[in-house]
Homo-oligomer: A and B are copies of this chain.
Amino acid sequence: MSTLSLQNFLQKNTTLDEEESAEVASAFKPIKVRRNEIIEREGNICGHFYFIHKGCLRLYEIDKKGNEITAYFAFENSFITAITSLITQKPSRDILIAHEPSELMVIDKVSFFNLTERYSPFKLFYNKMMEFAFIHAQMRIYSFLGMDGIDKLKWVLEHEPMLLTRISSKAVASYLGMTNSTLSKLKAKL
C-alpha cells in the first residue's frame, strides 16, 4: 500500500506523529504512470502536487530554438510539480513527464494548502522544501555558469551521480545545457 511510503516519509521529515502523518497521507491518491507519460502539460495551469513513491519524473521546458531545457529530476521520496505555474497560477511553460514508469501520490492544490493550514508541521515542511528548492537552484546557477562542459560533467558525477545511471543521456545533456553529442564526446574523454 503506497500511502505507507508517504506516511513514513512524513514521519521522518516532519514533526507530525504517526496518526497525523497517516491523516495527511490519506489525502493523497495513488496513481501509476507509464514511461514518457506527460503528467502536467505546457499551457495548463498546474493544480497538483506529486509525491514519488517509485520511479522518476522530469520537469523541462522547450526554448525558442525548440530545444528541451531540463529544470530538474526527482526520484523516490520527493515531491515535484510545475511549481512556477502552481504558485503564479499562470499557464505553465513547464512540462512534467515520467522518465520511468512511476507510482505517484497526487493531491490537488486546494487540498494541499488545506493540509498546510490544518497541520502546521506540514506547512513548515512545505516552506522548508521551498527554501531548499531555492538553494538547489542557486547552487546550479553557480555551478554551471562559468564551468566548461567537462567540469559540469564532473560536478554531476560528484553531486548527482544517479543522473548518470538512471537518466538518458539526452535528458542529462538538456540539464547540463549542452547537446547530446557534446555530452557523448565528453564522457568518452573522461
Contacts and interface: CB of A to CB of B under 8 A. Distances in A.
Nearest to A126: B127
Given A87-B131, A130-B134, A134-B133, A140 B141 contact: yes
A138 B69 contact: no
Contacts of A71: 138, 141-142
A135 B84 contact: yes
Contacts of A65: 146
A93 B139 CA distance: 10
Task: Assign chain A's interface to a size class.
Answer: 20 to 34
Number of copies of this kind of chain in the complex: 2
Nearest to A88: B135
A110 interface: no
Contacts of A133: 134
A79 interface: no
A1 interface: no
A30 interface: no
Interface in A61-104: 61, 63, 65, 67, 69, 71, 83-84, 87-88, 93
